[in-house]
Amino acid sequence: MKMLAVWGVSIMVALFIGYMYGKSRAETKIVEKQVEVVKYVAQKRAKIQARPNARRDELLELMRAGRL
């Protein structure tokens, strides 16, 4: 009977350790994805800000040509 209790406790401990390990790995992946999103947004923002501003006449030309 004691042997069964020892096995049960050891299985519970192994399951708990596995759960905690999986939880920490999931949190790491979430943080990595958030960092990737921030980098992507920063790159897109820099690309948009680097483009020159179009003047009104240029925008009208593009609208009339059907490109805007």
Decide if pLDDT at 15 tops 80: yes
68: pLDDT strictly greater than 70? no
- Quote the CA–CA distance of 35 and 23 in Å, as a whole number: 19
- Interval 29-63: pLDDT, tens: 777 788 888 888 888 878 767 778 878 888 788 88
The pLDDT of 2-6, averaged and rounded, is: 79
Residue 59 · residue 68 · CB < 8 Å:
yes
pTM for this structure? 0.42
Give the per-residue pLDDT at 66. 84
Domain count, the chain: 1
Domain region containing 6: 2-65
